[in-house]
Amino acid sequence: MNSEPSKKRSRRFELASTIGERDYLSTLPNDCLLAVFGHCDGDTVDIMESVNQRINAVVNQSGWQKLKKAYHALSIIQDRNGVALYLDPIKKSDRTLVYRVTGKGKTQKGVKTIQKARVVDKEEVTHRMERLIGKPIRMHVIPEIFWQCIRNVNEQYSYGRIKIMNKDIDDIFIKQFRDAFLGNYPKHVRMNNCTLVNVESSVLKNFILQTEICRLSINAYYNADNYHRIFTEKFTRQFSEKSDDFALSITCYDDPINANEFAIQTEHLWTPSRDFLPVICKFSALNLGLMTIDTNHLVDLIMLRFDLPFKSDVYWDFSMTRIITQHDLDRIDSKRYSVEFSVAELSSRAQRMRRWYSVIAKKSSGIKCRISNNGHFNSNTFSAEFV
């Protein structure tokens, strides 16, 4: 017997519920529920009641904890009417509204609320700032009750990632976000169309490095230079030391119309040295628009990754100093690897277009690396996928 007092023991059910996902009985009206159990004899009902009492005793007296209901993600979304907090279910497509802050006194219709979706009825407080393109920014000041709602959600539900969409990020938001989770941050954070406004790049950088975030995805189309100052070679090295399973994807442009341009004109472009290749190999996904791989190192990078174990598929997306050629691939050991290389050239009145791809397969394991110039003709960008 364990001599440790029961009140100090804290255990969890090891497996997620399968019955709960198909629960119909607990939501039936009383008359329907009585009709169902009317087909059971008295002994069966007594046994069910006895088992229920014993389960309650175990939960309440022995320190067992029920698993939290799982959701796919917690979403913080800013729109013209305010800021809303949603829980995204794993299987269903409809978000569940948790809380909404708006200046119009209305809440979104047609959604099921988990907690009471109170609306803060007060005049919208905004700051007027100037974007690079000269348009004013209307920043919604999020009240403390919104962040308290996040704390309540964390006590009742679990989720694997956080999505922050269309939000203007400043120092105040980062501090409130950090305090709301009390150090228990999800490992996966996705920021879509979020603009850094009057925030020091070091503040966001330190926040990312000091938390448990190990999978970060950012897509931004304004004030991109603020992001570019953060995601340097030094930052990528530090980020790679946080975990064994991490990913980093940064896509930032100041001009959304020309977001697919192949070259980015910025002072923050950098080309890693050869000793940086092992750092790249740590990432299961890596997309840094400012990093340009020396094409002479590309084969070395791929061979280095082949020699490491694979826990999952690996996807990289980079720029190169030049387009890869058959001569580069001739360095690969043909006894250990099979190599396929193809180039397609199309001519038009305007220009001559070139598209290439290569498949490198390790003979002993069957793992393949597919390399291509992302479907963009005449492009020095490439994607490498290990499957």
pLDDT per residue as tens digits for the range 68-120: 778 889 999 887 767 888 888 877 666 777 877 765 444 443 334 443 333 33
Contacts 24+ apart (CB under 8 A), 303-306: 303/332, 304/277, 304/278, 305/280, 305/281, 305/369, 305/386, 306/337, 306/362, 306/367, 306/369, 306/386
Burial of 196 (C-beta count, 10 Å sphere; 0-12/13-18/19+):
buried
Task: Note the pLDDT of residue 321.
Answer: 86
Task: Note the pLDDT of residue 16.
Answer: 47
Task: Note the pLDDT of residue 358.
Answer: 87
| Range with lowest mean pLDDT among 16-30, 128-142, 351-365 | 128-142
Task: Note the pLDDT of residue 332.
Answer: 92
Provide mean pLDDT across the span 229-253. 83
Q: Which helix (H) or strand (E) holds 77?
A: strand 69-79
173 has a pLDDT exceeding 70: yes
Q: In the chain, pLDDT over 90 holds for what percent of residues?
A: 13
Ordered by start, the domain boundaries in the chain are 6-65, 71-259
Task: Note the pLDDT of residue 110.
Answer: 36
This prediction has a pTM of 0.70
Task: Note the pLDDT of residue 280.
Answer: 92
Task: Note the pLDDT of residue 361.
Answer: 92
Q: pLDDT digit string (tens) for 43-66?
A: 787 888 888 888 777 766 766 666
Task: Note the pLDDT of residue 304.
Answer: 94
Q: pLDDT band at residue 268, thresholds of 50, 70 and 90?
A: confident
Task: Note the pLDDT of residue 135.
Answer: 43
Task: Note the pLDDT of residue 341.
Answer: 86
Contact present, 141 and 169 (Cβ < 8 Å): no
Q: Kindly report the average pLDDT of the chain as a whole number.
A: 74
The percent helix, strand, coil of the chain (3-state, each to 5) is 30, 30, 40
Q: pLDDT band at residue 193, thresholds of 50, 70 and 90?
A: confident
Task: Note the pLDDT of residue 120.
Answer: 35
Q: pLDDT band at residue 346, thresholds of 50, 70 and 90?
A: low
246 has a pLDDT exceeding 90: no
Token representation of residue 101? 């802050």
